[in-house]
């Protein structure tokens, strides 16, 4: 499982990426004191570590046992938080009921997002809400990097990134429609820009091996990786940050959805 392999280095390269995205999600959710919260695909705890001080009992669930281990360590001292191995696709009613469900950069990894959203809604109390983050359109440099990998990717992987309502190219309304079809109400998506700074091209490369992009590197034959690396380094050099290093922009979508009141 890819996330077991990269859990030790995930979000550990000093690049500000998953943290700012989690900040945006917490802003949209507006956590309430005492509420019961479920964070699905919690990873190393980007959302949980930010939200734990503001909510009541919280449960983090991730399919990767390695991620769960690191997340538990990150949340030591937050006695209101439990972290368990579990599947965000086939949720378990034994987890309980929640006032809020969050999932940052997770829904597009699941085999059947519409069914997952129906399951998530069933875990929510009346009046509860769900907030997720997904990727919107990449900026031109990030797009060029994606296009450098594209010829090497197997068709299934290409489809997941380029087709369907959760792909970066689909409109916000398509994401909203997924939630509405699952029975959510008051659904709205906001898209915010995210600028990510890399101190060096090497830092970008290290970062890329610690994220979902690792799967793209693995799809490139070893004999071609040096050429791909050089192409991408050139793209980065054409996108300098005013204060040094390089900058890639990527928009992030936050979708808020309510579960109808009693
Ligand atoms: C891009 S990471 C996001 C992690 C965390 N939410 C964050 O913002 O840093 C995606 C996470 O989803 C988890 N994941 C993937 N499929 C899952 C599933 N079916 N059930 C639960 N977690 C899953 C991965 O193990 C990984 O930790």
Rounded to the nearest whole angstrom, what is the distance from the C-alpha of residue 164 to the centroid of ligand 1? 19
Cβ 135 under 6 angstroms from ligand 1: no
pLDDT in tens, 198-248: 999 999 999 999 998 899 999 999 999 999 999 999 999 999 999 999 999
Taking alpha carbons only, the member of 134, 132, 131, 114 closest to residue 183 is 114
- What pLDDT, in 10s, does the model give residues 119-153? 999 999 999 999 999 999 999 999 999 999 999 99
Ligand 1 within 6 A of CB of 63:
yes
With a 6 A CB cut-off, is 6 part of the ligand 1 pocket?
Answer: no
CB 97 within 8 A of CB 123: yes
Residue having the nearest C-alpha atom to atom 27 of ligand 1: 43
pLDDT > 70: what percent of the chain? Answer: 98
CA of 173 to the centre of ligand 1 (A): 24
Going across the sheet that includes 98-104, the strands are 81-85, 58-62, 37-40, 98-104, 124-138, 246-258, 185-198
In the chain, domain spans:
2-258
pLDDT at 261 over 80: no
Residue 262 pLDDT exceeds 70: no
Cβ atoms within 10 A of the Cβ of 190, count? 14
Q: Find out whether the beta carbon of 62 lies less than 6 Å from any atom of ligand 1.
A: yes
From the CB of 176, is ligand 1 less than 6 Å away? no
pLDDT of residue 1: 83
106 lines ligand 1 (CB under 6 A): yes
Does residue 161 have a pLDDT over 80? Answer: no
Query: Model pTM greater than 0.75?
Result: yes
CATH, domain range 2-258: 3.40.50.150
């Amino acid at each position: 499982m890819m996330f077991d392999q990269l859990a030790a280095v995930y979000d550990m390269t000093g690049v500000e990426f998953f943290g700012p995205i989690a900040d945006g999600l917490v802003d949209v959710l507006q956590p309430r004191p005492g509420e019961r919260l479920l964070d699905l695909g919690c990873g190393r705890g980007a959302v949980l570590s930010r939200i734990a001080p503001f909510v009541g009992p919280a449960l983090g669930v991730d399919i990767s046992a390695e991620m769960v281990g690191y997340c538990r360590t990150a949340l030591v001292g937050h006695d209101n938080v439990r972290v368990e191995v579990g599947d965000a696709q086939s949720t378990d009613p034994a987890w309980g009921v929640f006032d809020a469900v969050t999932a940052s950069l997770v829904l597009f990894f699941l085999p059947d997002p519409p069914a997952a959203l129906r399951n998530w809604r069933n875990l929510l109390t009346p009046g509860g809400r769900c907030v997720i983050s997904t990727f919107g359109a990449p900026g031109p440099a990030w797009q060029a990097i994606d296009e450098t990998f594209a010829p090497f990717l197997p068709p299934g992987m290409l489809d997941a990134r380029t087709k369907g309502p959760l792909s970066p190219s689909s409109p916000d309304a398509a994401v909203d429609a997924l939630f509405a079809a699952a029975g959510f109400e008051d659904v709205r998506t906001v898209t915010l820009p995210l600028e990510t700074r890399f101190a060096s091209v090497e830092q970008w490369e290290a970062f890329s091996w610690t994220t979902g992009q690792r799967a793209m590197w693995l799809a490139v034959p070893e004999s071609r990786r040096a050429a791909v690396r050089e192409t991408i380094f050139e793209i980065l050099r054409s996108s300098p940050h005013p204060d040094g290093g390089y900058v890639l922009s990527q928009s992030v979508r936050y979708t808020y959805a309510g579960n109808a009141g009693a």
